[in-house]
Structures are given as structure tokens and as C-alpha cells.
Structure 1
Amino acid sequence: MFDFANQAYTLLIITVVFGDLFTRVIVGDGPDYRLGNLLWSIALAVSYFMVVAVGPVCGALTDYSRSRKRFLFASYLLTITATALLYFVEPGWITYAVILIIVSNFAYAIGENFIASFLPDLGPKKDLGWISGLGWSLGYIGGLVATAFTLLVLGEVSAENYDRIRWVGPFAAGFFLLAAIPTFVWLKERGRRRVRPAGQGYLSLGFSRLGHTLRNLAAFRDLSILLISIFFAMAGIYIIISFSFIYGSQVIGWEEHVRAIMFVTVQITAAIGALGFGFIQSRLGAKRTYAITLCLWIAAILAIWQTPALTALARHLFDVEWEAQYVFLFAGSLAGLSLGSSQSAGRALVGVLTPRGKAAEFFGFWGLAGKAAAIFGILGLGIIQTWAGLADAILFCIALFALALISLIPVNEARGNTMAEEWRDPHRD
């Protein structure tokens, strides 16, 4: 249900509506919007840097104090508050908009770490693939409901429609507020709270446990290597999440109804990908499933980049007068399948390689890898597009997914799972 709820934020604010609104209306430096794109990438990168800075320490602290749920609740409230305040942003209020995006996206992103850390408690490791896939698929259904309502009721992203479309912030906040309530009512905090050592604060305790994990991270060799692969994969994924609908507006030049169709297409295919690959993972294993999703991503990015060429090819082979914006829907379908499946498979594989008792801490490293990747990927694309333009800058993603695939090769899933099962916390009371 938390996956269901928080997709209202990531889709309405980061992917579909507010990102486009920020670049084209709030900053509005058309016709190429390169300054708006760069400022958007900087705002997101700063928020992810904040998660990188505090995520692992918070994970270590919450593992020890058994307070994951309280930390999750705090991030939830901060996300809702900052998102609702986006209503008050006016065109030209760039600094105010950037601050609210930094705060809201930081709270949302660190909340992802906390909710993911509950995954190992939800079932046996052999079932984590489909459990994670179920969560992701429910998330995309939640995003479909929230964004479909927004597109139908609030209308198009434009300066002329600003007085209506500005309600996207309060609506996303309200949806998140209500839909996440079941999580806080029924989700159980497993384990027991440990007694804090005399004379040691929780912050210093968090750093101490983080240091211990870093010193022993070499023992979790396969998890360490996996995090490198996840870094490159998430760099590409965060680019797509943050710029795909901006790409559609600026490069493809799609019409409003095609934008709505693309959104529905991506949500449905992402839900199918997350749930379908979750079941595939239980048969093929987490590593193989994750590798397949990376190959899907490379095909999807090639289709996005070559949309004009695919349009011309369709006209030549089938004698049809298709427009590029409709061919772009095919690329969107591939991206949707890749989006849901790769994130679900990667998260589940981390769960397989994570020992019990260190879930929040290790998922803090998962979050660190993902958010450090977001900084690298989003800033990289922002800089490249100021030089080459957004149309060709998307090629950067292909290199990132290829590196993720190469980095995955040394990971031994069976060895890593055995290490996680045999590990015992030396600090257990």
C-alpha cells in the first residue's frame, strides 16, 4: 500500500506533470529549455545527495533501535507537506520551486529506503521476487489512478491552464496522505528495541554501526558487486523517470492526448513487467531476471533515440503515415516493461543477499547506490544536453545500462545468499 501511495508523488511531481511544468512554464526558457532542464536536474541531484549523506546512517540507527516505522512516518509527513506547498509556486518563482522540490524529493527518496527495508520480513527469500513485484505493480496501479484523475480533471501543462494545473501538488499530497494510512495501521515492526549503550547517542551509534558494516562489507562480496551494477542501472532509470515526459514534449513534440496515452501505456506495462518478472524470478533466479531487464532497457533506449528512424522505416515497409509521436508509444511500452521489472528485480536481489538484522542498514546502501546514481545520471544528462541537446543526450543511458550488465557478471547469487543466511550479528544482545 505504501508503494501504491507514493507513486502519486513520483509520477505527478517528478515524471509526468510538475517536471514539465517547471521547465516549460515556471522557468520557461523556450524554445530549447536547456536552462530549465539543467535547473531541474540540479534540484533533483541535490535532493539525492542529501539522501546519500544520511541514508546509511539512518539505516544503521533504525536497525538498532527498531524504529523504521517512525522514520518512515516522518519522511511521509515531510513529503506531504512540501508537495502540498507547490501550489503556491508562481511562474518565475524558480528559487521557491527548487527548494520545495529538493525538500519533497529528499523526503520521498529516503522514505523509499525505509519501506524497502521491510521487504525481508514479508516472506521467505524464495518468494521475495514476486512480493517485490506485487508491491511495484500496485505502485503503478496507484500512479495510474492518481495521474489519470489529474490529467482528466486538471488538464494540460501550459501557462494558460496554470491556475488549474497548479493543484497537482495538493492532489498528490492528499493521495499519498490517504493511501498510505493502511501501512501505518497494519505494518509490523519486527525484532525488539535494543538498549542504547550508556553515554552513547543514537547519532554516534548510527555512525559506529555504519563503520562496522563498511569494515566488513568485503565479506558480503556479491552484495557489494551488485550495488555497483545497481548504481549504473539506477543512473539510467532516474534519467528516464525525470526526463521521459520532458523528452516527449521537447523532442517528440507530442499532443496532449498522446501524452495521456503514453502515461497509461507506461503504467500498465510497468505493472505487468513488475508482477510478471516477479514470477519469472522465482523460476530463473534473481540474477538472471535482473540481467534480462537490463537488456530490455538497452532495447527501449535505442527505440526512444531512433523514434524518427523507426517512423520512416514503418512508412517505407508498411506504407503507413504514422506520426513520430505514435511510434514513440512503442518505445514507451518497452520502457514501461523495463521500468517495473528492473526496479523490482534489483530490490528483490538485494533482499536475497541481505542478512536478517541489517535490513534497514543494507537497504540504506541500496538507497545510497540508487541516489548517488541519480546524482551522476541526472547531472550527467543535464550537462550533456546543454552541449548536444536532449535528443542525442539520451544515448548516455545506453552506456549506463551496458555498464550495469557488465558489472553484474561476477555476482554469484547462491554464494551471496549462503553468506547472508550464515551471518550472525556480533552485537546481538
Structure 2
Amino acid sequence: MPDSEPLGSSPPQHPAAPPTAGPDAPAPQPPHTPLTPAASGFLAALHPPVTIPGPPSPPAPRCAPRDAPGTTAAGTALKRILRGPTGLGTTSLTLPGRHEPPPPGPVPPAPAPPAEGQAVPGLYHHPVPEPDPARVEEVSRRIKRWAEDEVQLYPEEWEGQFDGFSVGRYMVGCHPDAPTVDHLMLATRLMVAENAVDDCYCEDHGGSPVGLGGRLLLAHTAIDHFHTTAEYTPAWRESLTSDAPRRAYRSAMDYFVQAATPSQADRYRHDMARLHLGYLAEAAWAQTAHVPQVWEYLAMRQFNNFRPCPTITDTVGGYELPADLHARPDMQRVIALAGNATTIVNDLYSYTKELDSPGRHLNLPVVIAECEQLSERDAYLKAVEVHNELQHAFEAAAADLAQACPLPAVLRFLKGVAAWVDGNHDWHRTNTYRYSLPDFW
């Protein structure tokens, strides 16, 4: 039956699962394109073993403008990312080791071997350690309980697809600095809710471009509340339990606002509006059978992309990147490029899945093939090159920002976004239930 929890009520609290002890062995790294000098130093700092911070420190002073005297040199800024911030009040921003003590008892088993799955040949990426198996198991258990008991997300016949999504592994791999499982669940519920809207309103499970705008607008009121007269408020409240996507949005957002600052919650609402705008552009093209130019497709994908996920990395990490720092144009460029690169990863890994689905699905290889008169193989390989250029641009932009504004919260946020980018690729690579590669090599 529909979730009857009153709007805005406090979500139940769940104890955090203790993480396992011992480092995870990283997967072997495939060949990839060389880094630019500016980005190479920054990236070297992003892949040591990541650990959990303590409580957040007081807000740091704002950084100077890029051209202010005394701006930190590039090498110094990048070294600070590597070693973490120092000085009074910065202990909680360092990422040296999990703060949760290992559980008593026998020595835990050796880390699991890297999960199977082939990376797209030639795709520039960074291997990541295997996600903490204890956390993966606990997040997977909790999210399924939430989906089944709290929001009645899917009918019984969809259970295999829900399990095959492997969202526990996904979110643990993308947020290695989350202090607790409770923090991981903030991201996990939102991810599942976003996919419910995509599936049920847009694509696999009854979705359609026809009437999508009305459905999305009403669902958006579950995360960005409708403020109206007393007469009409009850009907809106009742509508929030009327279908699975709205139940999921409402519940996931209720949990999120309990942990987020008002600024972080509003940031997320803004990024979800961007996402919904991208859905509508794609739907409009489907209704008119329009094939966009490649640049138009990439513009759509800047909105219909993963941006809402890495942009909450500070909330999931238990700290806040202040609003004025998040709003900097150079930070916005970093976040946009991260979302764009990770979304083209999705286009590449889901290519064969979409070709086998009913109807015509626009993705980057398909658009390149049609607009530039290339074979399927050549268009796919060019899409790999587009991804690689976007990924390098993201890393270079992050390195520039680290130089311009080497504040602890900025450096940690950049590190969190980079971890999300790497974890997102690893999930696509290893999710052989959903994805397989074309035979182009």
C-alpha cells in the first residue's frame, strides 16, 4: 500500500555498519592516453587509499581571487591535495584513514579480487580499489528494504532487475569518504529514485515522451515543494503517494534534507531541474524524430546527465562546500565536465543494451554515425575520443581550480568529485548484468 508517512516527518535512524579492516588491492590499470602536466600532479593525489574524516571543522576563510598577490603556485596547491590540509581546525578535512575502529575478532579475510568486467578499449580512466564488501552488503540490504517497505518501488517481477542494478556497489565505490553507512544511504536513495523516474516516466517500464513534461513537473514537487492555499494543499500531498517515482522522490528527499544544509538541499533541487530539462529535450526530439547535431546532443547531455550525483559529494562526506565556493564559475566548469564525461561513459557501456531495446535510442555513437556519415564502429571509436577529451578537460580544470583556490573544503570536494567519476566508470565496467561491449576490436 502507498507510503503514508506524513510529509516532512523525521526519517528512521539506522546504525552504521562497521567497515572491514585492511586495504583493498587496486585493479590493474589498462593503457590510457598520457595526462597533461597540470592534471598529472593533481591526479596523483586522488588515488591513494581513501579514508574517513571526523566531524566537519568550522568554515574556512574564502580564497583570494585568481590574480590576487600571494596566490599559491600550482605545485604547492597540488601537493596540498596529496597530503591533505594542515593547521588548526583542519584535522577533520584530511583523508588519512577510516575513523571507525575495526571490529573485534579474528583477522578479516584478504580483500576480494577485482570484479570481472572489461573496460572499453582505449577509454581513459582510473582503476579503483574494490568497494568495501561489508558496506556494499549493508547498503544493498538497506536500500532493498527501503524500496520494498517504505516506498513500494517495484512489483515482484522487477526484483531481479533491481538486484542486478547493484546500487550498493555503485554508491560505496563512488563515495569512499562517506563517514557512515547512513551517509551512503543519502546518495543511494536519491540514485534509486532518479532511476525510478527515468524508467517509469521516460524509458523501460512504461515511459513515453508523450505527456512527460506534466509527469516530471508533478514529480519535481516532491523534491521542491509546492506552496499554495490551504484548500489545494491536501490534494497535492495526496498526489505524492500516487506512483512509485513520486513516493521515491519524496522519501529520498526527506532523508536528504535531514542531513544536508539548506544550501546543499537547494543545490540538489537546482541540479534535478537541470536533469528534468534534459529529459524534456530528449523527449521532444523523440516525438519529432529529430536527430540533433553532435554538439546539440552533447548540450542535451550536459543537462540529462549524472550531475546531481557528484554535486552532493560533500553532503555524503559529512561536510559542506560553502555556497559561494560551489557557485564559482571555475567550480561549475569542473562539475559540468565531470557530469559530461561520466554520462558519455554511460553512452558507451549501454550502447548494445540500447540497440537491443525497442524503439530508437539516441546516444553519442548513434548521433555521430548519422551526422558525420561514419560506420557504427568508427562512430563508437570517435565517441571514445570525445569522452577522453572531456575527461582530460575535467582533470585540467580541477587542477587549475586547486591552484586558484587551495582551501581545504575545495580540495576535498574536488577529490570527492574525482572519486565519483572513477567509481561511476568502475560500476559500468563491472555491471555485466546490464552492460556488454560491442564487438568492434
Question: After TM superposition, is the score higher than 0.5?
Answer: no
- Which has the larger helix fraction? 1
**TM-score (normalised: structure 1):** 0.30
Q: Greater relative contact order (Cα 8 A, min sep 6): structure 1 or 2?
A: 1
**TM-score (normalised: structure 2):** 0.29
